[in-house]
Structure 1
Amino acid sequence: MNQKKNLLKSLLQPEGLLFLVLIISPWLFGSVEAWAKILLFCLILLGGMIWWKQHAKLKLSFSFPLMSVVVFIILWIFIEQIPFPPTLIQFLSPKRYELEKTTLLLLGHSATTQEMGWIPLSINPSESFFYTLEFSGIILFGFIVNQIFKKSPEQRDFWIYATLVNGSLLSIFAIIQRATWNGKIFWSRTLTQGGDPFGPYVNRTHLGGLLLLLIPLGIGYLLYKEQSYRPNKQRLAIKGSLTTGLQNLSFSYLFEKLFFPCLLLIVASGILISRSRGAMVSMLLALSLMGLWFSLDAKEQKKGMKQTLLVGAFMVGSIVMALWMASDIFIGATQRLVEEAVDIKESSRIALWKEALELWRMFPLTGSGLGTFEEAFNLVRTIFPGPMRVTHAESDYIELLTDTGIVGLLLFLVLIFIVLFRGWQNIRLEKDQKTKILVAGSYFSFIGGLLQGIANFNLVTMANLLCLVFCAQIFLSHSEENKNQNL
């Protein structure tokens, strides 16, 4: 009874609520549906309110440039949903004004500027509102997690550990579900609007994108834990029996040293057999960058080479495991990737991007409104004729351009630059080598997520964005500045 009370009490703490959000979000079908986003937003908001009540007198620690850009992004998304006078809309977004005028004429109403009602920049404010909830919740999540990690590195380590275990469970579930597929997610939920599921996700690419974020972080965590153990516990006893040596080691050490790497390989193989070509390439690029960093940053050349070879061995091991689990799926995805790279002009994704840029030219400054790509794209669409839905631009950056205009895209790019710059500073200035490896792991996971967004879409998947922000807070919350001044 006491254990249940303690568990409930911990879950009602802000740390417990936000941790719950991070863990359950992938299992809620990736949190792409409105009900899931509202649920997660409410949990984050509740956690934020409790945290603020508990820390009302705490001197907050944050980067002013970073927070300023975040505030401007939320303001811009919100402004696009507010009705403005028609003359202002005509100046800011002539195409939006023209669409409103055409709609009024078709409905038999007066379409003169003087008699028009006020118009929002977004062509579908209700859809944009859900994205506002999603982004606001994610930003609040990131801010509080940042404060938690600065205050308690132990909490940070536990969150990383639990997230990696959760990722391995997602991979195992996805593989089992695919092997026993009956046409339903969780063997019970029917796909009402089609899709290509993998695990609890309707779109296999999205799960691949989530798992991708765990690989460099997982390798960094393993090396961090390896160097955290005392020398007399780093190796199994040579003298005496193997059983005696094992008895001298803790269960957690054995799990992290022997079993955990296998789970990480399963996560990596899950990416490779998800058939997400973007996730596959992004993982290999992120790991390659991580291996290069190991070789250049290490004070001892031999140690750096050893860590680089470890990354290379992990990549090879992932491919071998993917071939063993589902060779036909992995080989098929690789073949399609090569074919698309060789004959890039025939790529349907490139054709989609070209037409998406035509859409952007209609709303160059403000975009059509966040979350409105499917409706707005019909203004220029010629590809994929018939009833097939084109819901996203297959690129986060192009979709940000079409939805939020050049203003919104520039704000997001500035945000990414600040995060990457501060993260790199924190890695470079970190004096403790084992902590530097952990922070670098989260940094290269974040880079992998950014790379995957070039040719895939994650904006709709709240679970993936939460994990991306989680990775960012690991390297943003850790710096010499935080240690010395907690500013």
Structure 2
Amino acid sequence: MTEGPAPHRWARRCSEAIILILACVAPWAFGSVEAWAELVLDLGIVLVAALGVIAGRDGDWTPNGLFSLPSLALAGLAMLALAQATPLPQPVLDLVDPAAAAARSALIPAAPERVLGDPGVPVALPEATLSLVPEESVHAAARLVAAWVLFQGVLRLGGGHAALRRFGVAMSVNAAALALFALLQALTWDGKIYGFRASPVDDAWRTGGPFVSHNPLAASLNLGLGLALGIGLTAPEPHRRGAQAWAAYAAGLTIVGLVTSQSRSGLVATLGAAAVRALVVRRRGIADAGAAIAGVLALAALLLAVLGGSSPYRRLASLLDASVYADRLEVWAAAIRTWAAHPVLGTGLGSFAVATAPAFGHDRGVVFARAENEYLDLLVEGGVLGLGLALAGLVSVLRSVWRALRAAPTMSDRALVAGGLFGLTALVVQSLADFSPHILGVALPAAVLCGHLCALGDARRGRPAPADVPREAWSLIARLIIAVLGLVLLFHSFHRARAEARLAGSGIPPPGAGRPAAISPSVSKPTLERMRVALEAALRDRPDWGEGHLRLGIVLLGLYERTAAEWVGESLDDPALAARLADPLWLHATVHSAPPSGRGWGEEAIGHEPVRRYLVAAARSFLEARRCSPALAPAHAHLAGLDYLLDGGGATSVHAGRALQLAGSDSRVLLLAAQAAAQAGDLGLAARGWRRCLEVRESNWEDVADAAAVVLDPGQILNEVLPPGKSWPVRFADRLYRHPEDREVRARYLEAALRGLPGDAGLSEPERLRLEAVVRAELGESARPRVLWERALAFEPSRAAWREEFVSWLVERGEIAAAHRHAVLGLRLSPGHPGLERSVLATAEALARGQPTP
């Protein structure tokens, strides 16, 4: 491609400078994952587009660039996202995605509910869309439009290999700077990025430099490493020896940054890209690939020898450990199950977290916002159509790279294009176990690189515009498209950035930071009021933000608790009792414990100021959250606790049932829905919720036991609440049935535990033997428990707690000599154990006095 005429040459130079600045700055702005950074980048992209329109000649705006396959793939993905967020007539939704239509019908009432005491119009029902989170799909479309506009801007630059070389120099220097910064920050880590931004990562070697995670850092470094190698690994030319030297330094520093980032997927991507580059560039590809991999591994070994025990290689060495992939495998399995229900059109771009939530089986206390695999992520959100568009675009880019390699006029230019191929290949490989392309600090430089490579590959393949369409018409259409899209993009980014800015300093976490949870009792009422004001302001900019409405509802519940506690506390001296009476669920239980004739209390309740001011507003907020995304389980769970304020819709059981259907592994939602169902008298639904809660998170069992014991008899708990395994009957018996009058119930639970032990895959053999010994001993058996304890201790001789309980059982049976022998043995294996020390002394005294017991 040739440069434009002199009057417009300045515009192209300015466009190139802006693109270089955007590509280099994007990683440093915390990966550009926040709305303010997106706004800055979008502003730069729109400015590039405007300059491109000024500089472009009519011939530059032909279908050759607009309708190239990478361009069409990006545009197709953007249009898919918009189509997913567009409301459809119900018959059309039934036709194109029957599963989505059926799910929507099951999650919403036939008509909008009215909140008693709310002066506003009833909250509308969710629109019939393909996307489970339409607002996020619109945002995904905006990001894809920005990528398309930037891609077109790079195609219009011209400059050929010289432009790619300038981009390569900038990216190489930037990657070296990122690696150096990440290394220095890790060595001086204080828990904050740049010394002022708190990081969720504790491990200094996994902080990711300016990124929040180490995997995007590795992806960014790989992009720069490939271009540095392309500049440095060229035939020696006198005028480029200095450039080769600094490129080699930059590549070496970048490799150090890659290794110390501890990104397993990043290292595998580096090795894979090195092999592909060697195979493509030279005929002796296999030998060169092996040499490239051997070189990287040799450098790794050298760093390991230098860093010694503090080396980050302890994490990289876990590449061959199957257990480290357990989380990813669970996420991938959930993704496949979710995709199977929406195979063609997906659940909506940006909806992964909400769409896959019901498919998870273990509550790990985190939200998996992405699939840890870019291709699975796109398959879930975009279906086969979305993944097909993305793969078509990727293949077309690689074809352009291949053509650019073959057409390169010099070995230096060929090496430079191969360096670009290295970076893209690394990103493609790393995306198999990561989601770095979703991080703008990685995606933007990658899009610029793709634009340069496609421009080189398509430079000799220009196609004239169709004969019946003048070139001026294509130019005008292109300019109008760019102008309109730029304005829409800026409008969208501005409102998101302003909403995020309004939340700053209020105590509300940034959007998408995690699960909205109940407000801590330590949060003061003034702080909650500040949160409320900030959320209401943010929602004026983002009225369809489901998470924001959900957080506002939770804040309003917290304000109700504080206000009601103040009122109740004036007449009570017990703060704990006052807190219980101020709990919104206590009010829910009071309403549903009234006789049927008195259950119109909702209209009377709104006469009380805390109910009218906070609970009515909270109910509306949860309805708004459901409107934005009907698959938000917490919204349904909270509506179950406020059903007495809703006119129309369904009773507690309806809302709680929907919450249980959507909650997946979210134990907090399961507990809330089960408690509301129990208070409303639906004990079967409550038992289902408590059972599911035990299945997904073992640590919640005490809360489940206490709640279930209030409304269920021992038989119902044993048969309907306790899942198989995990010694659940023993735990519940120890917590609920410890008194002498509960002897028969306790024996029933212990016998149930014995029946379940042989098939309990959650216990190791020593644990199973020990638990069986404890149960049989309590049931009064004499010989069998001793054999089982001895077998268990043969497997685990240093388990001091097991040996202490065995010694206590022997003492109760009067076998003082055996008890003393085992206590002495245990003390030798666990020196200083206080319980065993007491047992040794007590049994020794008993033996000296000839007493049957200490």
The TM-score normalised by the length of structure 2 is: 0.48
Preserved CA contact (<8 Å) 1:291 1:312: no
How far residue 325 of structure 1 moved from its aligned partner, in angstroms, is 5.2
Q: Percent identity?
A: 20
Name the SS of the counterpart of 1:389 in structure 2.
coil
- Tell which deviates more after alignment, 44-53 or 87-96: 87-96
Measured at CA, do residues 307 and 104 of structure 1 come closer, stay the same or move farther in structure 2, by a change above 3 Å?
A: closer
- Tell which deviates more after alignment, 54-63 or 198-207: 54-63
- The answer to whether the aligner puts 1:129 opposite 2:138 as a matched pair is yes
Name the SS of the counterpart of 1:482 in structure 2.
coil
How far residue 186 of structure 1 moved from its aligned partner, in angstroms, is 0.6
**AA paired with 1:358?**
R
Measured at CA, do residues 260 and 73 of structure 1 come closer, stay the same or move farther in structure 2, by a change above 3 Å?
A: same
- The answer to whether the aligner puts 1:84 opposite 2:63 as a matched pair is no
How far residue 41 of structure 1 moved from its aligned partner, in angstroms, is 1.6
Which residue number in structure 1 is paired with residue 148 of structure 2? 139
Separation in structure 2 between the aligned mates of residue 69 and residue 306 of structure 1, nearest angstrom: 34
Equivalences for 1:248-397 in 2 at 5 Å? 253-254=241-242, 256-296=243-283, 312-313=294-295, 316-317=298-299, 319-321=301-303, 324=306, 328-340=310-322, 347-383=326-362, 385-397=363-375
Which residue number in structure 2 is paired with residue 95 of structure 1? 99
Q: 1:415 aligns with which of 381, 393, 399?
A: 393
Which residue number in structure 2 is paired with residue 428 of structure 1? 406
Which residue number in structure 2 is paired with residue 219 of structure 1? 229
**AA paired with 1:19?**
L
Separation in structure 2 between the aligned mates of residue 445 and residue 192 of structure 1, nearest angstrom: 28
Measured at CA, do residues 423 and 454 of structure 1 come closer, stay the same or move farther in structure 2, by a change above 3 Å?
A: same
Separation in structure 1 between the aligned mates of residue 227 and residue 13 of structure 2, nearest angstrom: 28
Name the SS of the counterpart of 1:16 in structure 2.
helix
Q: Deviations over 1:407-455 (max 9, x none)?
A: 1111111111111122223313434222112111211221111011011
Name the SS of the counterpart of 1:414 in structure 2.
helix
Preserved CA contact (<8 Å) 2:347 2:381: yes
How far residue 71 of structure 1 moved from its aligned partner, in angstroms, is 2.3
Which residue number in structure 2 is paired with residue 188 of structure 1? 196
Q: Deviations over 1:65-112 (max 9, x none)?
A: 3333332222112211111111111222223223332332298659xx
**AA paired with 1:222?**
G
How far residue 483 of structure 1 moved from its aligned partner, in angstroms, is 5.4
Measured at CA, do residues 29 and 394 of structure 1 come closer, stay the same or move farther in structure 2, by a change above 3 Å?
A: same
Preserved CA contact (<8 Å) 1:272 1:322: no
Q: 1:444 aligns with which of 409, 422, 434?
A: 422
Preserved CA contact (<8 Å) 1:356 1:393: yes
Q: Highest relative contact order (Cα 8 Å, sep 6+), 1 or 2?
A: 1
Measured at CA, do residues 187 and 322 of structure 1 come closer, stay the same or move farther in structure 2, by a change above 3 Å?
A: farther
Q: 1:178 aligns with which of 173, 186, 189?
A: 186
- The answer to whether the aligner puts 1:67 opposite 2:63 as a matched pair is no
- The answer to whether the aligner puts 1:474 opposite 2:452 as a matched pair is yes
Measured at CA, do residues 155 and 293 of structure 1 come closer, stay the same or move farther in structure 2, by a change above 3 Å?
A: closer
Q: Deviations over 1:195-254 (max 9, x none)?
A: 952201111111111112222222112134x54x34xx67xxxxxxxxxxxxxxxxxx43
Preserved CA contact (<8 Å) 1:220 1:438: yes
How far residue 277 of structure 1 moved from its aligned partner, in angstroms, is 0.6
Which residue number in structure 2 is paired with residue 240 of structure 1? none
Measured at CA, do residues 484 and 277 of structure 1 come closer, stay the same or move farther in structure 2, by a change above 3 Å?
A: closer
Alignment gaps of 5+ in structure 1 = 1-8, 235-252, 299-303
How far residue 144 of structure 1 moved from its aligned partner, in angstroms, is 1.4
Which residue number in structure 1 is paired with residue 789 of structure 2? none
Q: Deviations over 1:125-179 (max 9, x none)?
A: 212222222221122212211332x335333222210111011111101111111
Separation in structure 1 between the aligned mates of residue 159 and residue 60 of structure 2, nearest angstrom: 12
Separation in structure 2 between the aligned mates of residue 118 and residue 352 of structure 1, nearest angstrom: 28
Preserved CA contact (<8 Å) 1:291 1:307: yes
Preserved CA contact (<8 Å) 1:205 1:276: yes
Bigger radius of gyration? 2
Name the SS of the counterpart of 2:283 in structure 1.
helix
Preserved CA contact (<8 Å) 2:232 2:245: no
Separation in structure 2 between the aligned mates of residue 158 and residue 438 of structure 1, nearest angstrom: 11
Q: Deviations over 1:351-370 (max 9, x none)?
A: 22111100111222211111
Separation in structure 1 between the aligned mates of residue 82 and residue 216 of structure 2, nearest angstrom: 26
Separation in structure 2 between the aligned mates of residue 269 and residue 174 of structure 1, nearest angstrom: 10
Measured at CA, do residues 333 and 353 of structure 1 come closer, stay the same or move farther in structure 2, by a change above 3 Å?
A: same
**AA paired with 2:374?**
D
Separation in structure 2 between the aligned mates of residue 486 and residue 316 of structure 1, nearest angstrom: 48
**AA paired with 2:377?**
E
Preserved CA contact (<8 Å) 2:182 2:209: yes
Measured at CA, do residues 334 and 193 of structure 1 come closer, stay the same or move farther in structure 2, by a change above 3 Å?
A: closer
The TM-score normalised by the length of structure 1 is: 0.82
Separation in structure 1 between the aligned mates of residue 144 and residue 340 of structure 2, nearest angstrom: 25
Separation in structure 2 between the aligned mates of residue 305 and residue 336 of structure 1, nearest angstrom: 27
Count of residue pairs brought into register by the alignment: 441
Measured at CA, do residues 282 and 429 of structure 1 come closer, stay the same or move farther in structure 2, by a change above 3 Å?
A: same
Separation in structure 2 between the aligned mates of residue 107 and residue 173 of structure 1, nearest angstrom: 57
**AA paired with 1:55?**
G
- Tell which deviates more after alignment, 196-205 or 324-333: 324-333
Separation in structure 2 between the aligned mates of residue 10 and residue 48 of structure 1, nearest angstrom: 10
How far residue 59 of structure 1 moved from its aligned partner, in angstroms, is 2.4
**AA paired with 2:167?**
W
Separation in structure 1 between the aligned mates of residue 71 and residue 12 of structure 2, nearest angstrom: 28
How far residue 12 of structure 1 moved from its aligned partner, in angstroms, is 9.4
Preserved CA contact (<8 Å) 2:227 2:416: yes
Name the SS of the counterpart of 1:347 in structure 2.
helix
- The answer to whether the aligner puts 1:42 opposite 2:46 as a matched pair is no
Separation in structure 1 between the aligned mates of residue 84 and residue 411 of structure 2, nearest angstrom: 46
Separation in structure 1 between the aligned mates of residue 105 and residue 146 of structure 2, nearest angstrom: 35
RMSD (Å), alpha carbons: 3.1
Separation in structure 2 between the aligned mates of residue 380 and residue 127 of structure 1, nearest angstrom: 20
How far residue 119 of structure 1 moved from its aligned partner, in angstroms, is 1.8
Separation in structure 1 between the aligned mates of residue 399 and residue 12 of structure 2, nearest angstrom: 34
Equivalences for 1:3-18 in 2 at 5 Å? 13-18=14-19
Preserved CA contact (<8 Å) 2:84 2:130: yes
Preserved CA contact (<8 Å) 2:276 2:425: no
Which residue number in structure 2 is paired with residue 244 of structure 1? none
Measured at CA, do residues 457 and 306 of structure 1 come closer, stay the same or move farther in structure 2, by a change above 3 Å?
A: closer
Q: Deviations over 1:301-338 (max 9, x none)?
A: xxx97898577545533553465357644321222111
**AA paired with 2:85?**
Q
Which residue number in structure 2 is paired with residue 105 of structure 1? 109
Separation in structure 1 between the aligned mates of residue 293 and residue 106 of structure 2, nearest angstrom: 58
Measured at CA, do residues 100 and 444 of structure 1 come closer, stay the same or move farther in structure 2, by a change above 3 Å?
A: same
Preserved CA contact (<8 Å) 2:28 2:210: yes
Separation in structure 2 between the aligned mates of residue 50 and residue 186 of structure 1, nearest angstrom: 34
Preserved CA contact (<8 Å) 1:269 1:322: no
How far residue 292 of structure 1 moved from its aligned partner, in angstroms, is 3.1
Preserved CA contact (<8 Å) 2:164 2:452: yes
- Tell which deviates more after alignment, 327-336 or 366-375: 327-336
Which residue number in structure 1 is paired with residue 581 of structure 2? none
How far residue 376 of structure 1 moved from its aligned partner, in angstroms, is 1.4
Separation in structure 2 between the aligned mates of residue 193 and residue 327 of structure 1, nearest angstrom: 21
